[in-house]
Amino acid sequence: MSEIEVDSAPWVGRDLHLELSGTGSRRAVLIRAIRDAIRTGRLAAETPLPPYRSLAADLGIARNTVADAYAELVAEGWLTARQGSGTRVARRAEPLAAPRRRARTDPPARPAGSTHDLRQGQPDAASFPRGAWVASVRRALNAAPNEAFGPGDPQGRPELRAALTDYLARVRGVRTHPDRIVICSGFAHALRLLFAGPLRGPVAVESYGLAFHRSILATASTRTLPLRIDEHGADTEALAALPGARVAVLTPAHQFPTGGPLSPDRRVAALDWARAGGGIVLEDDYDGEFRYDRRPVGAVQGMDPDRVVYVGSVSKSLSPAIRLGWMVLPEPLVADVLAVKGLREAWAGVTDQLTLADFVEGGHYDRHIRRMRRHYRARRDHLLAELAAHAPHVTATGIAAGLHAVLRLPAGTEPAAVAAAASRGLALDGLSAFRHPDATGPAPDGLVVGYATPPDHAYPAAVQTLCRSLPPAADG
């Protein structure tokens, strides 16, 4: 056996794609193809190559041809061959310039030049329950039926839909059946599915919210009509005055971003409006599990399952990287949503769905939520204590629940505060960034501070930087 051909080679059974083109002998063409793969960086230093018998079979050429090509490339310094470790790309074989990367079209994880990140919308990534999640992966895969790894169901795995039915009823007061749940990848995906099919505009939205969500509706040729908000949530009593609106998108448990639950009378007003005109309330329950200083606020869906579309996800509770969400639909909308979703591609991976089902059913999700509730409450309390010590003139609102707070600022000071934070390497958002462009009425100044994102070691410094960036108290 040749020194470069050993049965224990690490690439036994692996594939290597090579284009054998051009003129010359088979040996010369193969040598050129391997050199090109190394030069361009497609084969990095220390990459193991297949044994010559495997590569010869894959390429349909003689074994000796591959063996001779390997030997020449070893002699030239492109490859190395050691007994027991097979043939590898040599460390000195430096590639040419790497292929040019396409410019990013998505925003970076943190703005350039920022040391600290207090933007809203992201949980503490370091707190993801890796051990419990891995254990659920093992249990879920071992218990999964063979058909789970077939073509799949666009509605989502029945195990997850059943687990969510019980969980949402117990924790959020949602009334549904597994057949009325459709799995999606989050609220944005739900918007795209709903407004590409059963729902039509114009749509009533809260006058403060995510511009990203409004842009999705705009792409669907759907006009958005802003509803005034105050400390009681959206003014749903004004829905009847909005021309043509048949859908209202609300965040009843914790208005985003200003905070506070939708008051009971305004919940009733929203449902009365939907019943009277055949409308739909689209309930975004984006962080309903996280409450600190108040009793849980149940879902509006529980009051009228036939007039409310309830949407939730694990983006805030576990991780946005999991890409799992759910729509709880009135029965007549299920078929329409599935028709838009289609029979292929537009659904989450089966492994994650099965894992989340096990995670929920085994009580691990509840335990994680309780742990994170304590964690985020401590973060919030630290923020409030620092504000009381260093900026007592600044009021924090929306702090009874969720993962962010709104700091109310004196009129006209928001732009300077955002700029001061940026100059100190702190990324955060001004309240005005969330205001609907057609909103009327007062436009208060403020900062939206997400206290969940920074790792533990960086959080105190981020809060100190925030306090140094706030405007001073007004004289007198």
| 111 occurs within a structural domain | no
End-of-domain residue from the set 296, 328, 363: 363
The burial of 63, by beta-carbon neighbours within 10 Å (0-12 exposed, 13-18 middle, 19 or more buried), is given as: middle
- Does the pLDDT of residue 98 top 90, yes or no? no
- Amino acid, single-letter form, for residue 157: R
- Quick one: 384 and 359 in the same domain? no
> Are residues 247 and 196 part of one domain?
yes
- For position 58, what pLDDT does the model report? 85
Residue 418 lies in a domain: yes
pLDDT, greater one: 179 or 41: 179
Same domain, yes or no, for 52 and 152? no
Res. 317 pLDDT band, cuts 50 70 90: very high
Q: Is residue 106 part of a domain?
A: no
| 10, 86 contact by CB (below 8 A) | yes
Q: Which of 84-88, 220-224, 310-314 has the least mean pLDDT?
A: 84-88
Asked whether residue 243 falls in the same domain as residue 334, the answer is yes
Task: Report the share of the chain in percent with pLDDT over 70.
Answer: 91
Say whether pLDDT at 387 is over 60: yes
What DSSP line would sit under 308-371, residue for residue?
EEEEEESTTTT-GGG--EEEE--HHHHHHHHHHH-SSSSS--HHHHHHHHHHHHTTHHHHHHHH
474 located within any domain: no
What's 85's domain CATH number? 1.10.10.10
In a domain, 433, yes or no: yes
Is residue 156 one of the residues assigned to a domain?
A: yes
What is the per-residue pLDDT for 345?
Answer: 62
Same domain, 31 and 167: no
Domain-embedded: residue 107? no
DSSP state of 272: H
Confidence of residue 104 (pLDDT cuts 50, 70, 90): very low
Torsion of CA 382, 383, 385, 386, to 10 degrees: 110
Residue 430 is predicted with a pLDDT of 96
pTM of the model: 0.82
Last residue of a domain, one of 363, 393, 415: 363
Can you tell me the distance from the alpha carbon of 184 to that of 190, in angstroms, rounded to the nearest whole number? Answer: 6
Query: Residue 404's beta-bridge partner residues?
Result: 450
* Residue 451 one-letter amino acid: Y
Question: Same domain, yes or no, for 207 and 327?
Answer: yes
- d(C-alpha 292, C-alpha 83), whole Å: 63
302: number of Cβ within 10 Å:
16
Q: What is the DSSP letter of 184?
A: E
Give CA–CA dist 219/223, Å, rounded.
10
pLDDT at 190 over 80: yes
Task: Give the model's confidence band at 403: pLDDT under 50 very low, under 70 low, under 90 confident, else very high.
Answer: very high
- Choosing from 330, 363, 396, the residue where a domain stops is 363
Residues 407 and 446: their CA atoms lie apart, in Å, by 5
CATH code of 169's domain = 3.40.640.10
In this structure, are 225 and 329 located in the same domain? yes
pLDDT in tens, 105-127: 444 455 655 688 999 988 999 99
Across the chain, mean pLDDT equals 89
Looking at residue 285, its pLDDT comes to 93
- pLDDT beyond 90 at 53: no
Domain span at residue 399 reads 116-125+367-469
Query: What's residue 99's pLDDT?
Result: 45
The pLDDT-based confidence of 292 (bands split at 50, 70, 90) is: confident
Q: What pLDDT sits at residue 95?
A: 52
Does position 88 have pLDDT exceeding 60, yes or no? yes
Tokens representing 377 are 């409450």
Tally of domains in the chain? 3
Spatial contact of 78 and 71, defined as CB atoms under 8 Å apart: no
Q: Do 190 and 300 fall into the same domain?
A: yes
* 383 shares a domain with 330: no
Q: Which long-range contacts (CB under 8 A, 24 or more apart) does 229-234 make?
A: 229/255, 229/258, 231/260, 232/260, 232/262, 232/263, 232/266, 233/206, 233/260, 233/261, 233/262, 233/263, 233/266, 234/206, 234/207, 234/262, 234/266, 234/270
Q: Are residues 416 and 351 in the same domain?
A: no
Query: Among 38-52, 130-144, 178-192, whose mean pLDDT is lowest?
Result: 38-52
**Which pLDDT score, from 0 to 100, does residue 122 have?**
86
Assign 438 a pLDDT band (cuts: 50, 70, 90).
very high
Reply yes or no on whether the pLDDT at 267 is more than 90. yes
Residues 140 and 252 in one domain: yes
Q: Which of 149-153, 219-223, 345-349 holds the top average pLDDT?
A: 219-223
Which candidate, 316, 417, 422, places its Cα nearest to that of 375?
Answer: 316
Domain-located, residue 303? yes
Percent of the chain with pLDDT over 90: 69
CA gap 433, 258 in Å, rounded: 12
CATH number for position 418: 3.90.1150.10
Confidence of residue 16 (pLDDT cuts 50, 70, 90): confident
Same domain, 342 and 454: no
Nearest to 187 by CA among 280, 313, 356: 313
448 Cβ contact partners less than 8 Å away, ≥ 6 residues apart: 119, 120, 257, 404, 405, 406, 428, 429, 430, 431, 433, 434
Q: Please answer whether residues 409 and 447 qualify as being in contact, where contact means their C-beta atoms are separated by less than 8 angstroms.
A: yes
For 404-432, the pLDDT digits (tens) are: 999 999 999 999 999 999 999 999 999 99
Give the number of residues written for the chain: 476
Higher pLDDT, 271 or 14: 271
